[in-house]
Structure 1
Amino acid sequence: MYQQFMDFMSEKLLPIATKIGSQKHLVTLRDSFIATMPVVMTGSIALLLNAFLSDFPSEFGWTQITETFQWLIAINGLIFNGSLAIVSLVFIFALGYNIAKVYETDKLSGGLVALASFVVSLGTSITQTFSLSAIDHGLAEMINKVTGLSYVDGQLSVTISGLIPGNQINSRGYFTAIVIGFIAVVIFSKCMQKKWTIKLPNSVPPAIAVPFTSIIPAFIAMYIVAIITYAFNLMTGQLIIDWIYDVLQTPLLGLSQNPLSIIMVAFLTQLFWFFGIHGGNVMAPIMEGVFGVALLANLEAYQLGKDIPYLWTSVSYGAFVWYATLGLLIAIFWQSRNKHYREVAKLGIAPVLFNIGEPVMYGLPTVLNPLMFIPFLLCPIVLSTVAYGATALGLVSPVTQNVTWVMPPVLYGFFATGFDWKSIILSLINLGLAIAIYLPFVKLANNPKFEKL
């Protein structure tokens, strides 16, 4: 029965996973998210430092720490403004660069066309509405005569033109960046491939020739995006970015907070790993495109002191789920008499303490190991269920910090939740559950007939 299941999965699942993992547009999306990591992590570290210097001391009344390091808090605020606050601009350039790379056209021009086209789609004004008590009719008429001001039924609307809306270039703009980036740079690349370019003599240096040959394709791509933006706004009264946020991004992020979605992502990631496929790479478009956006929204809300919008993010998995391999090694040290298992555990414990599980996955192995199939898949299901439940019940704070993935277990959750001490308890409980799940199978491996598994 087991062999039949393994054969079925190998025949049906592996080809699908391989296609997903190699599909050029999904690979482009994955690589673009990864490319933003230097900027995103710098902003995240700045935010984490501010939490350590401001929020954490305030819980114990250590105001002197905050006052002493006010200069560093201000510097970290500047870093935040230049990283997470404009993360969509960073991402769209990386996306355009990688799309052009896939289509083998000029990568720098692709990044610039994507960035410019994204800004085109944002519009040029910001409108903010405020509630006001009833005012004199004459005063209301005077307000309505002022350009950019409108007063109707107790609502004062203020419109400022000529600016890039700040709330459109943070995590809110991610999905629009994906849509506009693909539209603009695919058009640009197709035009380049069709040689719809300015012809220059061969004697012209490449540094001059390449930008010139990109002019017509960039012109076509940007004008198409501008026409789409203008026509959409004319017909609906909305900007594309607002419509995408309301119709696509918000529902998808809401769906990502469903417990079944969270468990399914954990299960599929681990299932791909079991068959030797990099589960993180296959699931990256979902993990970063949905859960990663939720993390950025939480980061921004935390920075602004607002309510945290999402219970579960991409970092939640690292904080409370992916360290299950440490539970396996503890179970091996505790109960295993299998010499091979113990040797691999000795070699693998140091990397696993920094969330590097490949030595154990391929050395034990857990990959394609029938004895480890059940616990390998069961652990992420149980651990994500417990962690999500604890967060949903308010027992543990939601993840609000983007912590580096090599942060050791337990500390990972503590830092990721903005120093919530209860996350330490949750991390230890999940580690205990991982040990308990793996332990019977580690004991089973003591049987000589399983020595080669």
Structure 2
Amino acid sequence: MHKFMDGLEKYLLPIANKIGNQKFLVALRDSFIGTMPAVMTGSLALLFNAFLVDIPGQFGWTGFINSMTWLADLNSLIFRGTVSVVSLIFIFSLGVNVAKIYKTDRLSSGIVAFSAFIIAIGNSVSSTFDLTQAKGDLSAMFKGVEGLSVHGHKLSVTVTGLIPGAQVNSNGYFTAILIGFLAAIIFSKIMNKNWTIKLPDSVPPAIATPFLSIVPAFISLYVVGIFITIFNHITGELLIDWIYKVLQTPLLGMSQNFFAVIAIAVLTQLFWFFGIHGGNVMAPIMEGVFGVALLANLDAYQHHQAIPYLWTSVSYSAFVWYATLGLLIAIFWQSHNSHYREVAKLGLAPVLFNIGEPVMYGLPTVLNPLLFIPFILCPAVLSGVAYEATALGWVQPVTQNITWVMPPILYGFFATAFDWRSIVLSLVNLALATFIYLPFVKMADHEKVAD
């Protein structure tokens, strides 16, 4: 066992440290975190509407729903200004965090990244309408009308001069990542080369800083604009549509694989075991893939559409990460190890709000060979059970972004938009975690621990 642990530590720690310290991955992680105030506010607004509309609607309380229409409309407005435009929020955050790496003007970098993304997503919206029931010759009726085309009984309408709403929600995340890095890196590198407009020292910084950014912004945006124009001309489609089709959709599809869900859980826990913040190391994947799935589910739930993804970043929080609570239950139930019991007493309150560090470092579970197997096995089992329960339709997919300090069991209930079956699943997973840890906790009774 010790040889195995030494081998893992020898080969895994350097990789984890490189990932955790890679400056662009850190910028990506911090950019996702930067969107949280807006995303969480929009998510809560959607959750409030479940109390005001969805749940009362199940009981036929139309009077209450009608009286709360004004508040439901306000919540919908908040949602449209946050989650529905999350790519716009993210791209600005990414520009700011890239500028931190190069120690250049953060505000200007955020604005440049934002502008570059707008360049990439086009400026037209198209819709197709079925006019099968219409009488007369549609081709003759709409002949010569700009923005309209007829194919049989299908009428296609294209409106230009608009920001496409379907491109600025979660659908635009991958394009925002690529374009944001490109634009902000070019801007920052040119700023550091001092290809700027020189102003006298007497000019106040509030005026001088924007002027210094003009040339770098000009070059960065024109490079992005030329690249987008050439790409669109060669492929015949927008870059954002191509990325969504070729990159984003396949990656999201692979993330919904049973083994991928378990692998991410195990890797996250494995990093934690060696004292490395697993959430930070895995954040680019967790938020860049599973986080996008969550936002897509949020949007579908808001518009009463079919939920597209079974598993999201919050699915782990709702049904997996509270395994430490199972460890504490096992300790209180069967352990006679005075050290374990004392740490369990001190760590219970934090763990009930998903703060596991006191137990991880106090027991410890970090670098504890005795608890290595259950520490890794628990997230694998809990992820697999929760995934299959969702895939079989026994529990609704997670559609709500819940604050991370929500207590276990309630977490799953709120995250699935009040599916009572999630409570059963949470209790089952908690029982599994307890029984997985139990034999290893009992083994700790034989350790020589000073009373």
TM-score, structure 1 length as denominator?
0.97
**Alignment partner, residue 446 of structure 1:** 445
What SS does the corresponding residue of 1:127 show, helix, strand or coil? strand
Supply the distance in 2 between the matched residues of 1:68 and 1:304 (Cα, whole angstroms): 21
**What SS class does the counterpart of residue 158 from structure 1 fall into?**
strand
Aligned AA (2:173): Y
| 8 Å CA contact retained: 2:91, 2:114 | yes
Distance 1:234 1:135, change over 3 A: farther
Q: Whole-Å Cα distance in 2 between the matches of residues 117 and 141 of structure 1?
A: 40
> Residues 137 and 71 from structure 1, CA distance in 2 versus in 1: closer, same or farther, beyond 3 angstroms?
closer
- More displaced, 437-446 or 147-156? 147-156
Deviations 1:120-149 (A, max 9, x none): 111111111223328677531341410000
Q: In the alignment, what sits opposite 1:114?
A: 113
**Partner amino acid, structure 2, of 1:79:** I
| Corresponding letter in the other structure for 1:419 | F
Q: Secondary structure at the match of 2:390?
A: helix
Distance in 1 of aligned mates of 2:138 and 2:319: 57
Q: Quick one: structure 1 residues 58 and 113, their matched pair in 2 at CA, closer, same or farther if it must change by over 3 Å?
A: same
- Cα-to-partner distance string for 1:291-349 (whole Å, 9 max, x where unaligned): 00000000000000000000000000000000000000011011110000000000000
1:43-442 equivalence runs, <5 A: 43-133=42-132, 138-442=137-441
Deviates more, 1:275-284 or 1:61-70: 61-70
Using the alignment, how far apart are the partners of 1:144 and 1:122 within structure 2?
Answer: 29
Other structure's SS at 2:162 match: coil
Secondary structure of the residue aligned to 1:145 is coil
TM-aligned CA distance change 1:311 to 1:276, over 3 Å: same
Q: Distance in 1 between matches of 2:225 and 2:147?
A: 23
Q: Which amino acid aligns with 2:86?
A: V
Tell me, in whole angstroms, the C-alpha distance in 1 between the residues paired with 2:50 and 2:254.
Answer: 29
Unpaired segments ≥5 residues, structure 2: none
Work out the CA distance in 1 between the residues paired with 2:328 and 2:276: 22
Query: 2:142, 2:149 within 8 Å by CA — same for their partners in 1?
Result: yes
What's the CA shift for 1:232?
A: 1.5
SS at match of 2:142: helix
2:7 counterpart letter in structure 1: F
Instruction: Determine if contact 2:138/2:153 at 8 Å carries over to the other structure.
Output: no
Moved over 4 A (4+): 134-138
Does structure 1 conserve the Cα–Cα contact (< 8 Å) formed by 2:186 and 2:220?
yes
| Matched residue, 2:14 | 15
Structure 2 counterpart of 1:131, one-letter code: D
For residue 160 of structure 1, give the secondary structure of its aligned residue in structure 2: strand
Q: In the TM superposition, what is the alpha-carbon distance from 1:227 to its structure 2 partner? A: 1.1
In structure 1, what residue type is equivalent to 2:442? K
One-letter amino acid matched to 1:442: V
In 1, Cα distance between equivalents of 2:344 and 2:40: 31
Cα distance 1:68–1:136, how it changes in 2: closer, same or farther (>3 A)? Answer: closer
Q: Distance in 1 between matches of 2:70 and 2:59?
A: 21
Give the letter for the 2:71 counterpart: L
The code of the aligned residue for 1:124 comes to N
Q: Specify the code of the residue in structure 1 equivalent to 2:382.
A: L
**In the aligned structure 1, how far is the partner of 2:192 from the partner of 2:154?**
52
Cα deviation code 1:140-197 (max 9, x no counterpart): 1341410000001332110000000011101111100001001101111111111111
Whether the 8 Å CA contact 2:149–2:156 is kept in 1: the answer is: yes
TM-superposed deviation, 1:60: 2.6
CA distance in 1, matches of 2:364, 2:242: 48
Shift of 1:63: 2.9
- In 2, distance between residues paired with 1:59 and 1:139? 43
Tell me whether 53-62 or 439-448 shows the greater mean CA deviation. Answer: 53-62
- With over 3 angstroms needed to count, the CA separation of the structure-2 counterparts of 1:152 and 1:134, relative to structure 1, is farther
Q: How far 1:202 sits from its partner (Å)?
A: 1.2
Structure 1 SS opposite 2:445? coil
Aligned length: 450
Q: Greater shift after overlay, 275-284 or 190-199?
A: 190-199
Deviations 1:60-113 (A, max 9, x none): 333333223222111101100110011111000000000011111110000000
Instruction: Find the aligned partners of 2:138 and 2:361 in 1 and give their Cα distance.
Output: 75
* Unaligned 5+ runs, structure 1: none
The CA RMSD measured in Å over matched residues stands at: 1.2
Q: What secondary structure is seen at the aligned counterpart in 2 of 1:130?
A: strand
